[in-house]
């Protein structure tokens, strides 16, 4: 039996000072690094995702000059910009796979990303016999939620570390966690 850790979108544009920065994002980046320092060896794979949007494109309607903050968003995480890079508090030394998502299209789930070698997350999990997935990152109510929903849909047992996530809004984050728990995810603390 094999376990994966999903680290969702711990990027400069989603932490304090970024285009779509969430409160507590920098602290989550640092806590994830502390957790990895103690626990990375417990995982067969550690997969980190990044939004990686095409420049000079609305990325399938995902980016808008008049965003509604539901389906459309201001410019963020443009490929090869500082905003798309990992938060400096997130130590990526133990990450085994980096995936980029939203390359020209709207994408929320880590499962919508691919590695630079075009490997999908589903293929990585199958290759390593992963049955259990721990999920951390940003934002609870959007990309963390979508990644966990997809992991459950792909037949994995999911645990979400509630002390290693940060959301856009308290109410929608709580609703996302309630939905995930109802779908079978375990909500736990990492102990980091």
Question: What residues are labeled active site?
Answer: 9, 101, 143
As a residue count, the chain comes to 192
| Neighbour order of strands in the sheet with 45-51 | 97-101, 45-51, 2-8, 130-138, 157-166, 186-188
Buried b (16+ CB within 10 A) or exposed e, 115-124: eeeeeebeeb
**Residues in contact with 136: Cβ distance below 8 Å, sequence separation at least 6, in sequence order:** 5, 6, 7, 8, 28, 32, 35, 144, 160, 161, 164, 165, 190
Would you state the torsion angle of the CA atoms of residues 46, 48, 112, 80, taken in this order, to the nearest 10 degrees? Answer: -150
Alpha-carbon gap, residue 37 to 188, rounded angstroms: 19
């Amino acid at each position: 039996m094999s376990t994966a850790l999903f680290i969702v979108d711990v990027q400069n544009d989603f932490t304090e000072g970024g285009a779509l920065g969430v409160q507590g994002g920098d602290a989550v980046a640092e806590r994830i690094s502390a957790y990895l320092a103690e626990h990375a060896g417990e995982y067969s794979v550690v997969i980190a995702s990044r939004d990686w949007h095409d420049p000079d494109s609305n990325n399938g309607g995902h980016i808008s000059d008049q965003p509604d903050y539901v389906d459309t968003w201001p410019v963020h995480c443009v490929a090869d910009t500082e905003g798309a890079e990992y938060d400096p508090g997130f130590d990526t030394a133990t990450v085994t796979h980096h995936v980029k998502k939203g390359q020209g299209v709207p994408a929320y789930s880590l499962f919508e990303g691919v590695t630079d070698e075009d490997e999908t997350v589903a293929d990585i999990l199958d290759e390593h016999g992963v049955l259990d997935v721990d999920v951390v990152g940003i934002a609870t109510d959007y990309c963390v939620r979508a990644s966990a929903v997809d992991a459950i849909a792909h037949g994995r047992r999911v645990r979400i570390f509630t002390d290693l996530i940060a959301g856009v809004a308290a109410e929608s984050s709580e609703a996302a966690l309630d939905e995930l728990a109802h779908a079978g995810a375990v909500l736990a603390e990492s102990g980091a």
